[in-house]
């Protein structure tokens, strides 16, 4: 199966410093072409054509080698994905570009932010953070680095975050509904608590994240404003640190 450049009509920029030009068959970092072998490049093109969607290993085999092949394709795919991640400086444990769907395949996730921003039609602040999120700038898009959540969150209508304990608390204290996109550790717990408190829509796990789902979740988040405001009022009267210290002393 040949690549379909028509499905990527222009060079795709992602991760702040990368650009994939399908017509030139070239991946660039900070404007400089990277040496990438045919198999990793074919896999990357397929993932980008289907960005946000699961691409199975069988689909990769058909794209790269064809339907009737008798090779050790598993090792070849694994090696190609490793080379892609090295070139893209991507961490498989905390993927910014290529997400592994265990036992099934892979998903290109880097362009979800850009596509979501383009479709929202709203003013957006994108905080790059540890994931190095980025999108094309514009009059209604501001990309920032580290910013104090206590100053930023009260000035926005919806917060999209990973549901870490600290970020969850900051959004709730600000009285702002949240779309939670958990991916590890205790994040699914806090994301579920936000929904249970009617302070946001049901969690959207990172493994299921697509632009369609994110746009829909942001659109539904407004219904959680009353719940978020109610939680903020309760938090404003609590001495959280004092209660935590008392509990620790009680247990010890």
Same domain, 163 and 194: yes
Whichever domain contains 127, its CATH number is 3.40.50.2000
Same domain, 139 and 38: no
**DSSP classification of residue 154:** G
Out of 68, 90, 108, pick the residue that ends a domain. 108
**DSSP classification of residue 162:** -
The rounded distance, in Å, linking the Cα atoms of 245 and 151 is 26
Note whether 45 and 27 are within 8 A (CB): no
**Mean pLDDT score, 121-131:** 77
Q: Is residue 252 part of a domain?
A: no
Q: For the segment 220-244, what is each residue's pLDDT rounded down to a tens digit?
A: 999 999 999 999 999 999 888 898 9
Same domain, 185 and 91: no
The rounded distance, in Å, linking the Cα atoms of 162 and 187 is 7
Out of 108, 134, 155, pick the residue that ends a domain. 108
The rounded distance, in Å, linking the Cα atoms of 63 and 57 is 10
Q: How many domains does the chain have?
A: 2
Other CB atoms within 10 A of residue 69 CB: 10
| 3-state secondary structure string across 112-124 | HHHHHHHHHCCCE
Same domain, 122 and 233: yes
Out of 51, 79, 108, pick the residue that ends a domain. 108
Domain extent, residue 31, equals 5-108
Q: For the segment 10-34, what is each residue's pLDDT rounded down to a tens digit?
A: 788 776 688 899 889 999 998 899 9
Ramachandran bin of 238, using left for φ above 0, alpha for ψ from -120 to 50, beta for the remaining angles: beta
* pLDDT at position 194: 97
Q: In angstroms, how far is CA 203 from the centroid of its own chain? A: 13
**pLDDT mean across residues, the chain:** 87
């Amino acid at each position: 199966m040949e690549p379909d450049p028509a499905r990527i009509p222009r060079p795709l920029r992602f991760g702040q410093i990368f650009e994939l030009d399908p017509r030139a068959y070239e991946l660039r970092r900070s404007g400089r072409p990277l040496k990438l072998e045919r198999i990793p490049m074919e896999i990357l093109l397929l993932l980008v054509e289907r960005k946000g969607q699961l691409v199975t290993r069988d689909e990769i085999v058909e794209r790269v080698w064809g339907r009737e092949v008798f090779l050790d394709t598993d090792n070849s795919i694994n090696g190609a994905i490793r080379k892609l991640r090295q070139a893209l400086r991507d961490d498989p444990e905390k993927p910014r570009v290529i997400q592994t769907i265990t036992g099934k395949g892979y998903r290109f996730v880097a362009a979800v932010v850009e596509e979501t921003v383009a479709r929202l039609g709203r003013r957006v602040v994108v905080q790059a953070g540890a994931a190095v999120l980025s999108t094309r700038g514009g009059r209604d898009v501001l990309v920032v680095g580290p910013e104090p959540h206590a100053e930023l969150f009260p000035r926005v209508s919806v917060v999209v975050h990973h549901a870490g304990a600290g970020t969850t608390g900051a959004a709730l204290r600000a009285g702002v509904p949240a779309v939670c996109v958990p991916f590890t550790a205790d994040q699914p717990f806090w994301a579920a608590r936000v929904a249970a408190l009617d302070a946001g829509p049901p969690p959207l796990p990172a493994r299921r994240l697509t632009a369609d789902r994110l746009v829909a979740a942001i659109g539904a988040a407004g219904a959680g404003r009353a719940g978020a405001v109610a939680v903020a009022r309760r938090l404003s009267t609590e001495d959280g640190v004092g209660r935590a210290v008392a509990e620790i002393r009680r247990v010890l």
